[in-house]
Structures are given as C-alpha cells and as structure tokens.
Amino acid sequence: MGTIHTENLVKTFGRGQNEIRAIDGISLDINRGFHAIVGPSGSGKSTFLQLIGGLRTPDKGKVQINGTDLSIFDDESLSIFRRRNVGLIFRQYNLIPVLNVYENIILPLELDGRVADREYIKQITRLLGIEDKLTMFPKDLSSGERQKVSIGRSLSTKPMVILADEPTGNLDTRAGLEVAGLLKMTCKEFNQTVIMVTHDRELAEAADRVIYLRDGKLEKIN
C-alpha cells in the first residue's frame, strides 16, 4: 500500500439526466516520488486531486494517506490532518497580499499554533531561490516568484504529500519548467510524495510516473 491509496473512488456531480461521473472507480497506489497526472480537460484530474487532499468527499470508495482513512474525520479534524500532512499548490498562488513572503510561507504553521523552524525555512527559501525576497509583498513579485512562495508555503509544515493542480498554468515555458524542476528537487530532498496535474507533456515527462486519466477512469500509468 502506498503513501496514497484509493479504492473504487467515485465522485458524481449533478442529478438525474445531468449527472456527471467526474471520478468513476479509481483504485490506485501512489508512493514516494514525483508524479504527474495528465488527461483531457474534464477527465477528472482536479476532482481526483481534491478527493485525495480531502477537499471533497467521495460518493463511494476510500482514500487513505499513509494508512489513515480520510473518512474517519469530521470537517474540523480533517482540516487539521490536511494542514499537517498535505501541502496544496494551485494555479492561482492564493498568497495573502498584506503578508510579506516570509509571513506567507509560515502561515500554515501559525494557523496550527506552531513556531517556525527558522533554519528549515531558510533552507526552503534557499532551495527555491527566494531567500532575498522574504520582506517583499506578493504584488511586487513576478508570477514565477509568487509560485515559488506558494511552494515554500506548502513545504513549511514538512508535509509528506504535496498536491499541485496545474502549478505552472499561469507561467511561461521557462518559469513553468523551473517551478516543476523545483517541485521535483524538493520532492527528493524531503522524500515526499508529490502529485502534479499538468497539461504540458514536457513537464509530465520530468515525472517519475505519469498517471493518465480519461472520462474519470484510470487509463494507464507509465
């Protein structure tokens, strides 16, 4: 069983004639390493990521993270579990405009009432190449730098799992390659399970494994 284990996962939206099976019975084990999820638009990539991250509840089937079944949690304990174990990265960086780079990065720790390990935060920001931007505000950063800050924020709690939904979607090719390369590098450095949804074949090829979805089903894994 992997770090992430799903069994017969089903998620539908809408009812009756309008029902859409966004995820249609996916059973999958994902272990440490850098994984890409690819598939046509509407194939269920984002929904699958949201189910794994406990952002959505499945209609059927189960999700386990490191052996813990997400269905045992109520809303509050699930958000605590997620905050401690899962780092989330989105296409729109979701940085807090009134907080500077350092404050954005340590926000998940503060929300959890934990004190930031300054050495570790320094190590992350050095790896991401943003160590000289810590007192700057999001509005003064380039898109690529903003995404690096959101990667830093996702790493700050030392999660075992990082879920990224098209993290390079707003970036040009060069910045996109750099961000994907950084995710791959931090994945190795911190021995994590990273799952990145992408439309970009070149980026997907950088992954250790590529998961192909089609019509809510697992098509193949390479």
Ligand X SMILES: Nc1ncnc2c1ncn2[C@@H]1O[C@H](COP(=O)(O)OP(=O)(O)OP(=O)(O)O)[C@@H](O)[C@H]1O
Which positions lie near ligand X, rule CB under 6 A?
A: 13-14, 20, 22, 39, 41-47
User: Please, which residue, 52 or 179, has the CB nearer to ligand X?
Assistant: 52
3-state secondary structure 70-121: HHHCCHHHHHHHHHHHEEEEECCCCCCCCCCHHHHHHHHHHHCCCCCCHHHH
Residue 6 binding result from Mg ion, ligand X, none, given CB thresholds of 5 to 8 Å by partner type:
none
When the beta carbons of 109 and 183 are compared against Mg ion, the nearer one is: 183
Nearer to ligand X among residue 39 and residue 87 (C-beta): 39
- Contact letters for Mg ion, residues 42-81 (x by CB under 5 A): ----x-----------------------------------
Q: How far is the CB of 196 from Mg ion (least distance, A)?
A: 12
Closer by beta carbon to Mg ion, 121 or else 211:
211
Place of tokens 């992430």: 4
Rounded-to-integer distance, Cα 136 and Cα 126, Å: 15
* C-alpha distances in Å from residue 60, one per residue of 6, 22, 65, 95, 171: 11, 12, 17, 33, 36
For Mg ion, the closer of residues 40 and 129 by Cβ is 40
CB 157 within 8 A of CB 87: yes
Residue 100 Cβ vs ligand X, minimum distance, rounded to whole Å:
31
By a kind-dependent CB cut-off of 5 to 8 A, residue 47 interacts, out of ligand X, Mg ion, none, with: ligand X
44 binds, among Mg ion, ligand X, none (CB under 5 to 8 A by kind): ligand X
Among ligand X, Mg ion, none, the one that 42 touches (CB under a kind-dependent 5 to 8 A) is ligand X
Nearer to ligand X by Cβ, of 20 and 107: the residue is 20
20's contact among Mg ion, ligand X, none, with CB below 5 to 8 A by partner kind, is: ligand X
CA distance 85 to 83: 6
Q: What share of the chain is helix, strand, coil (3-state, %, to 5)?
A: 40, 25, 35
Per partner kind, with CB cut-offs from 5 to 8 A, the member of ligand X, Mg ion, none near residue 153 is none
Q: List CB contacts of 138: < 8 A, sequence separation 6 or more.
A: 93, 95, 96, 97, 101, 104, 146, 149
d(CA 144, CA 90) in angstroms, rounded, equals: 13
Contact positions vs Mg ion (CB under 5 A) = 46
